[in-house]
Structure 1
Amino acid sequence: MSSHAICIMFSLHIILILLSGACKAAAAPTMNHTTDTADREALLCIKSHLLTSKPAGALTTWGNSSVHFCRWQGVVCRRRRRHGLMAPRVAALRLEEEGLAGKIPPCISNLTNLKHIHLPVNEFSGSVPPELGQLRRLVYVNLSFNALSGMIPAELASCSRLQIIAMRKNNLEGGISSFLLNSSLIQKIDLRTNNLSGPIPPLLMNSYASLEFLALTENSLSGEIPSSLGNLSSLAVLIAAENQLTGGIPASLARLSNIHLLDLTYNNLSGTVPSSIYNLSSLTSLGIAGNGLVGTLPSNMGNTLPNIENLVMSENNFQGGIPRSLANATNLVVIHLAQNSFSGVIPSFGSLPNLQKLMLFQNHWLEAGDWMFLSSLMNCTQLTMLTLDGNNLQGDLPSLVTNLSRNLEYLVLGSNHITGTIPAGIGDLVSLSMLYLQDNKITGPIPASIGKLHNLYAMDLSKNWFHGNIPASFGNLGRLSELYLQENHLSGAIPADLAGCKNLLALNLSSNILSGPIPDGLFGKLNQLSWLLDLSHNQLTDSIPDDVGSFINLKSLNISNNNISGRIPSTLGSCELLQALRLGGNSLEGQIPYSLATLRGIKEVDFSQNDLAGEIPEFFEVFNCLEYLNLSFNKLDGPIPTKGIFANATSRVFLQGNPSLCTSTKSLHFPLCSMGHSGRKNRVAVYVLAIVLPSVAVSLLFALFLKKRTRKDSRLMHESSKEPRIRSYNDLSKMTNKFSSANMIGSGQFGVVYKGSFPDGEGQMFAVKVFKLGQSGASKSFLAECRALRNIRHRNLVKVITACSTYDPLGNEFKALVLEYMPNGTLADHLHTKSRYGCLSLGARIGIAVDVASVLEYLHVWSVPPMVHCDLKPSNILFDDDNLARVGDFGLAQFLHGFSSYGGHQNSTSLFGPRGSVGYIPPEYGLGSRISTEGDIYSYGIVLLEMLTGKRPTDELFDDGFTLHKYVEDALPQIGDILDTDLSREIVGDHSSPTESQEQDNETEVQKCILQLLNLGLLCSQEAPKDRPNIQDVYSEVLAVKEHFLSCCAKKT
């Protein structure tokens, strides 16, 4: 080939190469445009499925054709090589808190290079799209704080590069799928606050080698904690609080050498904490509160946990002492060991310079008079919270409490046995926001220096022995939201300066000796009150101020049991959010104002024991929320309404003591209305008749008077003798023959009871209970009984006729009560002194059980406030002329819900020994538990067992843990050997105890009644209060037994 030809061919080759390059260059923009289009269209698809609440939010920039999508807000791109060129691709979506709503669309999977999805704090709903599993490059997904539901999609298992998954605070459900175990790269899993259920799946070998953070708190996970979690060698945070996990804490968790936060609080874990857990020296926070863990704390735990900052072990059953070595853990910030059974001495923590919160409330300190720990806390200058309430702290409140950290915000020492006075230096704790000293024995005046605590938010000094005036300086507490001073001996007027507490939400001054009128304008200044205003059980006078209508947000208003007079203010109708209105026990007059018709959310109304007149307003019929209405002992007249709460047979409506009321139905215990009262529209006709025929009416009345004069005079004299005027010492001495032993009919812990009659009483017998004032607690017992029996009325209660509080001729204090005389002895007499009083039939015993249960139901449920008898026993159950059972002796009774039974200090236990009598006292009272209705239920159960077996709970048979309860429990269902001999004799023959083979098939009706009562007695006398029934269930049960007995068994017995 010639050289010319070669040159031509080489030139052509060069041209082809150039052309090829030009073609590629021309094709490159087309390929890049295709990539741009795919990601751009995917973003626009996402936008089309979403809504936003932000007008200028990120999505407003999406779709602008003049701006490349990589510059759209929230879109992050990375260049990727494609066909030899670098092209921008969407690598991350970052749209936190953008107000986005709607479902996350499946087209998000078209962003095939997506690595990061960061969409927290929006309003996404629907399920997590399973199409996320197609994003094979996905490393990070955060969908926390949305409203997503459904299950975590299993398709995420395909995202083999996934390192972080966060879906906290959604509504996800189902279990934690084991697919998550397939990724050895994952570092963080945060699934807190969802509805996930089922067990925590066990880990596969070598899985999660990189996992550092596992958070499963606030779900419904169950089962045991897998021991395989101990294989997570890199785990630094394990949070599984507030689930339903059971079993023990695995010892394998001690292998987590890098753990610094372990939180298993509020589950159902049990057993002891493995000792090796306390050797996790890397721990900075240990949370195991709210479980059922037991055991003691190792003495060296402060040395083995050198980095611990937060120690939260409250609400368990730990015992023993708090290790002194904790003082060596100098990084401690929070110590929360409350609500356990720790005992011994509270150690010194003065070596903990960073300590901010020390919470040791509700434990069992045995040497609680030692306040040395308090002096050591003066070194803890960062201390903000000290809570020691509900312990056995005793002795005077040390003045050094005022030397605690000036940063102290919470000082809580309530429900102890602290005495002495509040040091005046308390006002130096200028950071205090909460001061709780309630339920102690602190006395003296309340220091005015408290008025310097301008940051105070809540103060509770109730149930102490404070006296003197309420300090006017309290008016300086402008931030105060809650003030509780009830059940003290505070006197004087309510200071008008309280008007300065303009942010009060709750104010309780009840059960003191406050007097004088309610200050003018006070209510108007305290118009932020919304929870509670309670001024009851004082000696306040004058009328209710009209500015009471300022309480437009108030839920509960109680001004009962004072000396308030005048009318009910019509302005009360402005308090439309009221749920409870109690004005009983005053001298209010006039009609119930119609303006109260606006109180449509009211639940409780008590206007009892006043002088209210007129008719019952019809608007009570349409109060749909009304549950309790007490209008008793007023001067109301006219027809009783018939609709709404008045039509409900089970409703709590009390109208007794209004003799002029009438009814249109015979089911009520009121006289039937005359034609004039048959309807309120007929009043005009009644008034006309009254005017036209006055002489006829007078003549008829006069004729009736003449006809029955003698009989009526006799009856009136008899009634007068039943309720004589208050008597002097001399009167009582005369009627009891100078308190002769011949007149003595009983003696108890606090008093001696005599029988006698007044000279002007025509021989009518009374019982006179003279209190042994030399006995500690007798004076308070007198006040308790007066307060109790003044407020309760029931046909099965012994009625107090009058009281006497004076001095005898020698100048000694004298206190006595005059009561109805019960001539037929006590239940104890009938059970254990049969030769004198005779035996009780089964029917009589069932009737007594019903009557006593009826009294307890009245005290616990219908009495306002509820009352606990505290000393129910056979000797306090008496029989009147008709052998009707009557419950008496209220000397130990206590009101519940913030009311004491004598207006002063109400301790969690008795002021004068355990409340009740040996054998009948519930076991929890002996351990210092609070008085409760469950205590009366226990006593009732013992009485029931005693009635049926004839054995006292103090019988010599019962010793060394063998009790009357156990005696009956061991015998059932065989009853022949444990019944009272009189009962056995009564049911002998056809009703003899069945043999074992006959028990199920041939049990007699009488034995069914007895067995039912014995089982009820056992249930009521259960050791744990929570296992006892409430009185309404008890009353229903004994009523059912009585009805069954009367219908099937009465003739047989």
Structure 2
Amino acid sequence: MKFFVLIVLAVLLLSYGAGSIVCAALLGNDTDMMSLIDFKRAITDDPKGAFSSWNTNIHFCNWQGVKCSLTQRDRVEVLDLSEQSLVGQISPSLGNMSYLASLNLSRSKFSGQIPNLGRLQELMFLDLSYNSLQGSIPVTLTNCSSLRVLDLSRNLLVGEIPAEIALLSNLTRLWLPYNDLTRVIPPGLGNITSLEHIILMYNQLEGTIPDEFGKLSNMSNLLLGENKLSGRIPESVFNLSLLNQIALELNMLVGSLPSSIGDGLPNLQRLFLGGNMLEGLIPDSLGNASELQHISLSYNHGFRGQIPPSLGKLWKLNTLGLDGNSLETNDSRGWEFLDALSNCTLLEMLSLYGNLLQGVLPNSVGNLSSNLDNLVFGKNMLYGLVPSSIGNLHRLTKLGLEENNFSGPIDGWIANLASLQGLYLQHNYFTGKIPTSIGNNSQLSELFLGNNQFHGPIPSSIENLQQLLYLDLSYNNLQNHIPQEVFRVATIAQCSLSHNSLEGQIPYINNLQQLNYLDLSSNKLTGEIPATLRTCQQLQTIKMGWNFLSGSIPISLGSLNSLIVLNLSHNNLSGSIPIGLSKLQLLTQLDLSDNQLEGEVPINGVFKNSSAISLKGNWRLCGGVLDLHMPSCPTVSQRRSRWENYLLKVLVPIFGIMSLILLVYLTFFRKRMLRNQSSLPSSGERFPKVSYKDLAQATENFAESNLIGRGSCGSVYRGKLTKEHMVVAVKVFDLDMQGAAKSFVSECKALRNIRHRNLLPILTACSTVDNRGNDFKALVYEFMPNGNLDTWLHWEGDRNARNRLDLSQRMKIAVDIADALQYIHHDCESPIIHCDLKPSNILLDYDMTAHLGDFGIARFYMKSKSAAAGDSSTVGTVTVKGTIGYIAPEYAGGTFLSTSGDVYSFGIVLLEILTGKRPTDPMFCDELSIVSFVRRNFPDQMLHVLDASLVEEYQDCSRANLEEENEVHQCLLSLLKVALSCASQSPNERMNMREAATELHAINMSYIS
């Protein structure tokens, strides 16, 4: 035996480095010591020097993070190396330390799989949280029969939660949040009577909440939020008297809350049920849960009726979030809750955004807690004056009254809210002047007063708002000069003063290092554009159109390398176009139309793309790229002869021509202009009226050269409307085609009252007769310079002939379309089913923002209260509509149209975005579809299904650094999961578009952060 020890010593000295392990370290247990040495060898980076004490001079029981047993000599009982940022893998040798009772390796950068630790029969505490561990949860962990705490949160774990965990009869805490776990929650967990914490939030768990959880009498924390759980919440859960927190938010839970919910939860402090599909009344008994501090029932859209005044009994209440529901205040009784909440002296947040509250806001709002920090009544139906008592809430940092019908002045209460950081009053009918006292709100960072009826000057006291980031005073009737003081706020990032009656010169703007958005359009500003704008190097958008600005375009604008949008149209600018604008690589939208510019148009940069610029109304410009159709620039001799013949050719006949034009106008053209036409109506927005002649001229008589696409009901042409000076897309309906006229009506009806930044902006409609007396119907849209998504996903010819879409662009497009579908399904007044979602109906503007178009077969639907997943059907069955490959499978049986059908189509489109393959690709035949193709390879063979350019991007990241690779890997996994969920065969298994949009926004934010 001694000889063996000597051999081990020699080997260790050779392999570990001379002098690294001495006899003192060998006097203890050989197995534990060797396990520790193996563990250290698997570490590739030790940035905090955690292993500096693991050396020759110290017994291993005294190494940092190591603690040995007091009863079992030289046996390791605790290994705690938490928060050491260690990089590497966890050695399986730790599984040999049979007396180990506590293992904590949290908050490091461990990767790879969780090793087999099943032999650690003494292990009671295991914390591997906040790492990058992959693979599934090993079933062997369930052999650790003494385990009480299992924390694997914030890793990259996949697969299901092993049902065998139910064998851990001593478990008190099961923490698995922020992973990628799937399948159902094992019902057997309900048999572990010792369980106090079940924390499984932010995974992809499906199915229902097990009824067995109602037996866990020791439960204090049940956190299952941000999963895909469905069905009802077991009523027995609301009888677990020791519960401290219930967090089930952002799932697909349905049903109503039990009327006795507050009677069996005497210890409940936090109740988070937002972002589900719960409905019914808020139970009056909720006021009996006397320990409640935080309540969130937001964005269920199903809670209705009045807010119970019994909530006023919750004297510890801190936050109450009821946004995005159908709660009402039809009479004085409906406002009793507001009086009752004055008893909640600890209340800091009350948010009721997006409900059906109506009437005058009661004066009792000023009696709410003096601790109130956040008060939101935005997007309701409130009107009248804001009660002056609101000024009693001195600690308010956020006040949201936007999108109501409030009126009257604001100077009676605004000065008292000295702590305000965000003031949101936009889209109301407030009148009077913006009070000078606004400058007393020195902590304001966001000030939104747009779309009201304020008049008078902008107060110079805005200079006192030295923390201001966002200033929006647009769409009012503000007059006089823009105070110089506005641009002395060094922190300002976005400033919109558009659509007012401001006059005089633009003040000196200098060195605003955070300014990225400046909109001064549609005012009466005169003078020159300040050359000092060049000092604002973060500027991305400059809008100064529709003013009376003169002078030349400052050459210095060519140094704004972040500039994306520049609009100086409809002014009196003269001189030449600065060549520096052609060198701005990010500039993708330039409008210089209707000025007095002259000289040669540059041909590089943004000027290469004729659809990205507008130069109309500058009659002395020449040259440029061929697509601009500008006259050639004259030679020197041509310029001389033009002036020599000017009097002869122009001035002499001009008087006769003008007389003739006037006569013709009075006798003929005026009658033609009175021809009956129909334009698309709008709530508050004025659309231009266009005639057949206007559209024929815009498209050069619908020339083939201007054709940009054909569909089932007609053709789409690129055109230039002369009067409006804009490039448009004209959709002309072929009325000989079956259903074309009906499609025109459907699209007009669908687009009549919906407005969203991700819906294709419609400008007007035309229903008249052509020059042959035939019926003519057309829709006019904003032109999308980057075409449709289909052409970006499926190149023809040289793959390098156009830019490839990277991951961030694809993700942004997916988010944009999800937002559009969420809006038409859930947020517009009359919800709409699109019925034909596909890449060719997704249009991309100058900055690659996606817009959903073609509502030709769209259908309105009425919400069904019995719909299990919140999707509703039309009044009857229909024939299959849409495009092969994107049509939901249930439509083949003649089922009801539903929003679930759009969700399926969105899932297919998202798969197409990620794989680069159409659902009708020849490879998809027999039993193989794009969905099954991806599902078979997900997640382990994910790279086999991705588009080649995404694989290349992923591999570039993996070569760059591990952290970036993990981020891209996680992002792609998450996107594919959303796509597969949306494209589930059964409608009941699909998330709705609100959930899909929420998921995609979270993925996008996680990726870009």
Per the TM superposition, whether the score is higher than 0.5 is: yes
Residue from 135, 139, 145 that aligns with 1:184: 145
Letter in 2 for 1:364: S
Mark the CA change 1:868 to 1:665 in structure 2 (over 3 Å): closer, same or farther: closer
Q: Partners in 2 of 1:797 and 1:856 — Cα distance?
A: 24
Residue from 250, 254, 277 that aligns with 1:294: 254
Q: Give the structure 2 partner of residue 311 of structure 1.
A: 271
Residue from 289, 305, 318 that aligns with 1:344: 305
- 1:741-752 matched pairs, under 5 angstroms: none
Letter in 1 for 2:483: P
Q: Give the structure 2 partner of residue 537 of structure 1.
A: 499
1:327 Cα deviation (Å)? 0.9
Q: Give the structure 1 partner of residue 439 of structure 2.
A: 475
Q: Give the structure 2 partner of residue 990 of structure 1.
A: none
Mark the CA change 1:1029 to 1:570 in structure 2 (over 3 Å): closer, same or farther: farther
Describe the superposition over 1:473-525 as per-residue Cα deviations: whole angstroms up to 9, x where unpaired: 1111121111111000011111001111100111111111111111123312x
Mark the CA change 1:942 to 1:965 in structure 2 (over 3 Å): closer, same or farther: farther
Q: Give the structure 2 partner of residue 645 of structure 1.
A: 606
Q: Give the structure 1 partner of residue 846 of structure 2.
A: none
Which is further off, 601-610 or 459-468? 601-610
Question: Aligned to 2:632, what secondary structure does the other structure show?
Answer: coil
1:343 Cα deviation (Å)? 0.8
Establish whether residue 588 from structure 1 lines up as the match of residue 497 from structure 2. Answer: no
Q: Give the structure 1 partner of residue 585 of structure 2.
A: 624
Describe the superposition over 1:9-63 as per-residue Cα deviations: whole angstroms up to 9, x where unpaired: xxxxxxxxxxxxxxxxxxxxx9978517989999899889776666xx7766676
- 1:254-293 matched pairs, under 5 angstroms: 254-293=214-253
1:941 Cα deviation (Å)? 6.8
Which is further off, 279-288 or 507-516? 279-288
Q: Give the structure 1 partner of residue 185 of structure 2.
A: 225
Q: Give the structure 1 partner of residue 804 of structure 2.
A: none
Q: Give the structure 1 partner of residue 627 of structure 2.
A: 667
Q: Partners in 2 of 1:298 and 1:463 — Cα distance?
A: 38
Mark the CA change 1:522 to 1:789 in structure 2 (over 3 Å): closer, same or farther: same
Q: Give the structure 1 partner of residue 480 of structure 2.
A: 516
Q: Give the structure 1 partner of residue 118 of structure 2.
A: 157
- 1:437-448 matched pairs, under 5 angstroms: 437-448=401-412
Letter in 2 for 1:35: L
Asked if 1 retains the 8 angstrom alpha-carbon contact of 2:45 and 2:87, the reply is: no
Describe the superposition over 1:301-333 as per-residue Cα deviations: whole angstroms up to 9, x where unpaired: 111222211111111111110110111111111
Mark the CA change 1:53 to 1:644 in structure 2 (over 3 Å): closer, same or farther: same
Question: Aligned to 2:514, what secondary structure does the other structure show?
Answer: coil
Question: Aligned to 1:302, what secondary structure does the other structure show?
Answer: coil
1:612 Cα deviation (Å)? 1.7
* Paired residues, number: 775
Asked if 2 retains the 8 angstrom alpha-carbon contact of 1:922 and 1:939, the reply is: no
1:174 Cα deviation (Å)? 0.6
- 1:74-153 matched pairs, under 5 angstroms: 76=67, 89=74, 113-153=75-115
- 1:666-685 matched pairs, under 5 angstroms: 666-674=626-634, 676=635
Letter in 1 for 2:318: Q
Letter in 2 for 1:554: L
Question: Aligned to 2:468, what secondary structure does the other structure show?
Answer: coil
Q: Partners in 2 of 1:289 and 1:636 — Cα distance?
A: 58
Establish whether residue 606 from structure 1 lines up as the match of residue 567 from structure 2. Answer: yes
Residue from 970, 993, 1008 that aligns with 2:879: 970
Asked if 2 retains the 8 angstrom alpha-carbon contact of 1:215 and 1:239, the reply is: yes
Letter in 2 for 1:609: H
Name structure 2 gaps, 5 residues minimum.
Answer: 1-21, 699-721, 724-729, 782-822, 843-850, 862-871, 910-1009
Question: Aligned to 1:564, what secondary structure does the other structure show?
Answer: strand
Q: Partners in 1 of 2:661 and 2:738 — Cα distance?
A: 32
1:766 Cα deviation (Å)? 3.3
Q: Give the structure 2 partner of residue 701 of structure 1.
A: 646
Mark the CA change 1:512 to 1:338 in structure 2 (over 3 Å): closer, same or farther: same
Describe the superposition over 1:179-227 as per-residue Cα deviations: whole angstroms up to 9, x where unpaired: 111111001111111111111110266x211101111111111111111
Q: Partners in 2 of 1:719 and 1:1027 — Cα distance?
A: 57
Establish whether residue 566 from structure 1 lines up as the match of residue 527 from structure 2. Answer: yes
- 1:454-469 matched pairs, under 5 angstroms: 454-469=418-433
Q: Give the structure 2 partner of residue 1046 of structure 1.
A: none
Q: Give the structure 1 partner of residue 284 of structure 2.
A: 324
Mark the CA change 1:721 to 1:408 in structure 2 (over 3 Å): closer, same or farther: farther
1:639 Cα deviation (Å)? 2.4
Q: Partners in 1 of 2:434 and 2:381 — Cα distance?
A: 23
Asked if 2 retains the 8 angstrom alpha-carbon contact of 1:448 and 1:472, the reply is: no
Q: Partners in 1 of 2:438 and 2:330 — Cα distance?
A: 32
Name structure 1 gaps, 5 residues minimum.
Answer: 1-29, 83-88, 90-112, 677-685, 723-756, 772-777, 800-818, 821-826, 832-838, 891-920, 947-951, 954-962, 974-999, 1001-1010, 1034-1053
Asked if 1 retains the 8 angstrom alpha-carbon contact of 2:825 and 2:833, the reply is: no
Question: Aligned to 1:262, what secondary structure does the other structure show?
Answer: strand
1:797 Cα deviation (Å)? 11
Q: Give the structure 2 partner of residue 356 of structure 1.
A: 318
Which is further off, 129-138 or 637-646? 637-646
TM-score, normalised relative to structure 2: 0.68
Q: Partners in 2 of 1:68 and 1:888 — Cα distance?
A: 83
Residue from 750, 763, 767 that aligns with 1:877: 767
Mark the CA change 1:929 to 1:404 in structure 2 (over 3 Å): closer, same or farther: farther
Question: Aligned to 1:474, what secondary structure does the other structure show?
Answer: helix
Q: Partners in 2 of 1:43 and 1:944 — Cα distance?
A: 68
Asked if 2 retains the 8 angstrom alpha-carbon contact of 1:942 and 1:965, the reply is: no
Question: Aligned to 1:459, what secondary structure does the other structure show?
Answer: strand
Asked if 2 retains the 8 angstrom alpha-carbon contact of 1:222 and 1:243, the reply is: yes
Mark the CA change 1:794 to 1:492 in structure 2 (over 3 Å): closer, same or farther: farther
1:353 Cα deviation (Å)? 0.7
Q: Partners in 2 of 1:33 and 1:943 — Cα distance?
A: 80
Q: Partners in 1 of 2:353 and 2:434 — Cα distance?
A: 24
Asked if 2 retains the 8 angstrom alpha-carbon contact of 1:868 and 1:933, the reply is: no
Letter in 1 for 2:559: T
Q: Partners in 2 of 1:354 and 1:31 — Cα distance?
A: 62
Q: Give the structure 2 partner of residue 168 of structure 1.
A: 129
Asked if 1 retains the 8 angstrom alpha-carbon contact of 2:67 and 2:78, the reply is: no
Letter in 2 for 1:289: E
1:142 Cα deviation (Å)? 1.3
Residue from 518, 526, 535 that aligns with 1:557: 518
Q: Partners in 2 of 1:945 and 1:60 — Cα distance?
A: 68
Q: Partners in 2 of 1:847 and 1:671 — Cα distance?
A: 43
Q: Give the structure 2 partner of residue 335 of structure 1.
A: 295
1:620 Cα deviation (Å)? 2.7
CA RMSD of aligned residues (A): 4.9
1:861 Cα deviation (Å)? 11
Asked if 2 retains the 8 angstrom alpha-carbon contact of 1:332 and 1:352, the reply is: yes
Question: Aligned to 1:286, what secondary structure does the other structure show?
Answer: strand
Q: Give the structure 2 partner of residue 528 of structure 1.
A: 491
Mark the CA change 1:35 to 1:221 in structure 2 (over 3 Å): closer, same or farther: same
Q: Partners in 1 of 2:422 and 2:285 — Cα distance?
A: 35
Residue from 598, 615, 625 that aligns with 1:655: 615
Residue from 652, 658, 674 that aligns with 1:767: 674
1:934 Cα deviation (Å)? 12
Mark the CA change 1:764 to 1:582 in structure 2 (over 3 Å): closer, same or farther: same
Letter in 2 for 1:443: S
Q: Partners in 1 of 2:287 and 2:122 — Cα distance?
A: 46
Mark the CA change 1:967 to 1:666 in structure 2 (over 3 Å): closer, same or farther: farther
Q: Give the structure 2 partner of residue 35 of structure 1.
A: 27
Asked if 2 retains the 8 angstrom alpha-carbon contact of 1:665 and 1:672, the reply is: no
1:423 Cα deviation (Å)? 1.6
Letter in 1 for 2:767: I
Q: Partners in 2 of 1:560 and 1:856 — Cα distance?
A: 27
Describe the superposition over 1:544-585 as per-residue Cα deviations: whole angstroms up to 9, x where unpaired: 112x22321122111111111111111111111122111111
Q: Give the structure 2 partner of residue 956 of structure 1.
A: none
